[in-house]
Amino acid sequence: MSVVTRFAPSPTGRVHVGNLRTALHNWLFARQQGGRFLLRIDDTDQARSEERFVTAIRADLQWLGLDWDGEVRQSERFGLYEEQFAKLRATGRVYPCYETPQELELKRKVQLGRGLPPVYDRAALNLTDADRVKLEGEGVQPHWRFKLDHDAPIVWDDLIRGPQRFDPKLMSDPVVRRADGSWLYLLPSVIDDIDMGISHVVRGEDHVSNTAAQVQMFQALGALPPAFAHEALLTGSAGKLSKRLGATDVDHWRETGTEPLALAAKLARIGTSLPVEPVTTMTPLLERFDFASFGRAPARFDEAELAKLNAQTVHLMNYDQVAERLPAGMDARAWEAVRPNLERVADAADWWHVVEGPVDAETAEEDRDFLRAAVDAARTIDWGGDPWHALTGALKESTGRKGKPLFLPLRRALTGREHGPDMAALLPLIGRDRALARLEAAAHG
């Protein structure tokens, strides 16, 4: 069977980290299996859908490194929904209901008060044609429910959760169409999945009860249901996913300097038995993607852990991957020199400023004679080889200093900082003239 997956966001807002995780898992599985990954814009809610969010969804997926093999929009498929709805109506699998929201809420409260599950009582099925004509003559427009088959349990073997079993008698017939004719999520999604040839539906476990109803919708429309994989939801480091993180869109990750590959590596592996580790391409994530590795417990998303992973990712990136984001004049040698000290690619600009100067160095009084000796040594060493070790070697011999008293005053004078990249890599970038000027300024400042 050819694998076809889909990501189906609603353009009523920006996608957040949980949405990105769902999109990524669908993409990884499709690409691993040599299948197709489709984008479906679920814009049936035309009052709340906005074109700017459609544009943002595409841009956000591209930022994460996800491409897609086709795109459809539900707002362009209403004719197909009407056609399939008519089939269900003809076979009695959808039926009109006339209760108001207030009446339904009262029914639910009565059932709960009696210790019964708040399941719709199917009262609308007892209405006669004359009853319906009378109600509609009074201006009451019906909403429509899908009639569940109560004769057999609903079962499927979930790729993550294992065997699933639902008793349809304990479920309400789901509303599939509102009184104003607009569609709810469940039925159009099934119709689209059939029409698009979706083989696997990968989504959050909050959709499990929807899936139970949709399994019968597939069957009622004469189609085999796809395979389902319901993954555990994300939680924040303190438990439930915070509203802030739940509302965080891709702009946040861009602004904080998060590498797309770092976020992808995090989202691909959290909640699984596989290690979360830095990658430089999607290939390792593709190769080891396996629904069998997914756990049932909520997956904890910790932004502090992501920041560490981001730094590890930056440390693995080669010059070609970052060249366009580096300051003018910063070459591969400079990138490799500063890379181990970066948390974000943007931080390279700080170290390039250290290289080009000027720097502001503070010198302790007891180090001034030592730095004057450093000026003399710097004038005589070979700058074409390894100037740092030549300089420190000469000063160790002439002053007797070693360890921190030897290295730290030099680092302060040359960079204005006490910590940073390996000076053996940094000093050749600073160069002879700038180094001499800085040492002289520190010695006499």
- Quick: pLDDT tens for 56-75: 999 999 999 999 999 999 99
Q: How far is CA 242 from CA 93, 248, 295, 303, in A?
A: 40, 10, 21, 12
| 3 neighbors 37 (Cβ within 8 angstroms) | no
H or E stretch at 62 = helix 51-64
Region 354-371 average pLDDT: 94
pLDDT at 46: 86
The answer, as to whether pTM is greater than 0.85, is yes
Which residues carry a binding-site annotation? Answer: 243
User: Can you give the pLDDT at residue 201?
Assistant: 98
Residue 246: the pLDDT is: 60
How far is Cα 80 from Cα 85, in angstroms, rounded to an integer? 8
Contacts of 137 (CB under 8 A, 6+ apart): none
Are 43 and 17 in contact by the 8 Å Cβ rule? The answer is no
pLDDT band, residue 249 (cuts 50/70/90): confident
Across residues 74-84, what is the average pLDDT? 97
Which domains are delineated in the chain? 4-73+185-235 (3.40.50.620), 80-177 (3.90.800.10), 236-319 (1.10.1160.10), 357-444 (1.10.10.350)
**Which pLDDT value is given to residue 242?**
55
Q: What value does the mean pLDDT take over residues 212-239? A: 93
CA angle 346, 28, 165 (to 5 degrees): 130
pLDDT digits (tens, 9 = 90+) for 25-59: 999 999 999 999 999 999 999 889 999 999 999 99
Q: Which residues of 76-91 are buried (b: 16+ CB within 10 A; e: fewer)?
A: ebeeebeebbeebeee
Q: How confident is the model at residue 247 (pLDDT cuts 50, 70, 90)?
A: low
Helix extents (H) in 247-364: 250-255, 260-269, 283-287, 303-316, 319-322, 332-338, 348-356
Measure the CA–CA gap between 183 and 82, rounded to whole angstroms.
10
Angle at 106 between CA 102 and CA 112, to 5 degrees: 145
User: What confidence tier does 244 reach under pLDDT thresholds 50, 70, 90?
Assistant: low
% pLDDT > 70, the chain: 97
**Residues that constitute the known binding site for ATP:** 243
pLDDT tier, 245 (very low <50, low <70, confident <90, very high otherwise): low
The H or E element spanning position 368 is helix 368-380
Whole-number pLDDT of residue 239: 62
- On the question of pLDDT at 243 being above 60, the answer is no
Q: How far apart are CA 282 and CA 268, in angstroms?
A: 10
pLDDT at 114 over 70: yes
Per-residue pLDDT tens over the stretch 415-434: 999 999 999 999 999 999 99
Arithmetic mean of pLDDT, 385-410: 96
3-state secondary structure of 163: strand
